[in-house]
Amino acid sequence: MEDVEIVDQEISKYGNKGDMSPKQIILNHINRISKYIFSGEQEPMTKEKTITTDRRKVIIQAIEFLTAMLDYHYDSNMKKTQKEFDEKIAKSEKDLIIGSMSAKALKVATKEKGDFKKNYFKNRNFYIKNKIFLVDKTSGNYEVYVQRIFQLNMDLFKEQTRLLNRIDWLSSETYTE
């Protein structure tokens, strides 16, 4: 994925010399994600001009950043949810790689002379044996993968906001800290 960032510029005020606590950074980041997802904000904040036109990828990266910030605050429920999420992501990545390798082996086998089935398995096994993991980002497999990862991240985002409610970070007193 592209290095797109949806990090609020206020994050630079964090630390001993800044005026933002880690909690405020997390809540500001959630606010920024929410605006981007639900209010139709047109462009994310970026450090460089690497904006992707695929809003899903921007949201995925923003939730990955949120996950890194919240990890320390996970309770047992959230740790279980994160583990399940990580397993689903790993399966989706494996499915993408297998689908991509199979598609590439199919494409190569159609160009080779001789037994098509034999050529297909020869090529597929070659990619597996040599750990050549090809991903065609223009393929339907990749589109399905991005949509699946996006939906998983949206589900994780919901669980993360539930976590913040459980640890009482979403009360009005906390938010205005």
Question: What confidence tens digit (pLDDT) does each residue in 4-58 have?
Answer: 444 444 444 444 455 677 788 888 878 888 777 766 545 544 445 455 668 888 8
**Distances in Å between the alpha carbon of 7 and those of 2, 11, 121, 129, 167?**
15, 7, 45, 40, 23
Instruction: Count other Cβ atoms within 10 Å, centred on residue 105.
Output: 21
Same domain, 79 and 90: yes
Q: What is the pTM of this model?
A: 0.72
pLDDT in tens, 97-122: 888 888 888 888 999 999 999 999 99
Q: From the DSSP assignment, how many helices (H) and strands (E) are in the chain?
A: 6, 0
One domain for residues 155 and 130? yes
**41 and 95 share one domain:** no
Domain's final residue, options 38, 55, 73: 73
Q: What is the pLDDT of residue 34?
A: 77
The single-letter code of the amino acid at 35 is K
Q: Say yes or no: 88 and 126 in one domain.
A: yes
Look at residue 174 and tell me if it is in a domain.
no
